[in-house]
Amino acid sequence: MQPSVFTKIINREIPAHIIYEDDDTIAFLDIHGTTPGHTLVVPKRQIDQLWDLPGEEYQRLLSVIKKIALHLREKLGTTRVGVKLMGVDAPHAHIHLIPFTDITEYNNSPSDQVEPDHAALAKQAEQLAMKENE
């Protein structure tokens, strides 16, 4: 299997705005986020589909997702953090966490043709950074 874009981020071959990392998981801002704080949570082991993760790895991932979602909601002051599981944009299991207050924010579809504002994303990642034991 060819390394996915997420594996390349995990291996630091390409940059990302990382907000969380532990031995098994990495979380970083989506460069074409639906809302500020839109985060991708990715298991470090490259497995094509979320449903193919072994039970224990799946449960650890869900535990981390909950921790990050609660952190995003608190730090950003949103009323909700939505979850999207699309499974088609990369051959590597991942979950989108989308902080929002209004459903139109959650349903927003930003263009991936627009150049990301990396300075703003870096500032946001700094604001949202969390430690493994938070």
Q: Which residues are catalytic?
A: 94
Distance CA 112, CA 131 (A): 30
Segment 85-89 long-range contacts (CB within 8 Å, at least 24 positions apart): 85/50, 87/49, 87/50
Quick check: helix, strand or coil at residue 98?
Answer: strand
89: how many CB neighbours lie within 10 A of its CB? 11
Distance CA 57, CA 50 (A): 10
Q: CA triplet 101, 61, 13: central angle to 5 degrees?
A: 95
| Residue partners of 49: CB distance under 8 A and separation at least 6 | 87, 93
